[in-house]
Amino acid sequence: KQEVTQIPAALSVPEGENLVLNCSFTDSAIYNLQWFRQDPGKGLTSLLLIQSSQREQTSGRLNASLDKSSGRSTLYIAASQPGDSATYLCAVRPTWGDYKLSFGAGTTVTVRA
């Protein structure tokens, strides 16, 4: 059974600092990994999707890396802003044709102005 862990559970940084969010998974045989952002009382917004054959994906200030063999993904957010305050979730899809995403519990980020 795939288990996804996100550490730390919460993170507080001053504005302008780079953010590093970690996601680890127990079964390295994944099909893809997706990073989401969740704002309080809101739904999930997809940030980046990394296929198992990729090592990283970039979108603006966001960069996500994937190391399947070690069961890890890292989300980097450069030059953080107060608007980046949210909960960040990672989710893995086990195999091709398996529709189920296994989610971590998330890292709640607070960026102080």
Partner 1 sequence: DTAVSQTPKYLVTQMGNDKSIKCEQNLGHDTMYWYKQDSKKFLKIMFSYNNKELIINETVPNRFSPKSPDKAHLNLHINSLELGDSAVYFCASSQFRTGEGEQYFGPGTRLTVT
Residue 26 Cβ vs partner 1, minimum distance, rounded to whole Å:
15
Residue closer to partner 1 by CB (options 11, 101) is: 101
Closest separation between CB of residue 49 and partner 1, Å?
A: 5
CB of 35 to partner 1, least distance (A): 10
Decide whether 18 or 46 has the Cβ nearer to partner 1.
Answer: 46
Whole-angstrom CA distances from 20 to 10, 29, 87, 105 are 12, 24, 13, 16
C-beta of 14 vs 97, nearer to partner 1: 97
User: Where on the chain is the footprint of partner 1 (CB under 8 A)?
Assistant: 31-32, 34, 36, 41-46, 49, 87, 89, 91, 93, 96-101, 103, 105-106
CA pair distance 46, 37, nearest whole angstrom: 6
CA distances, 11 to each of 7, 20, 37 (Å): 9, 9, 14
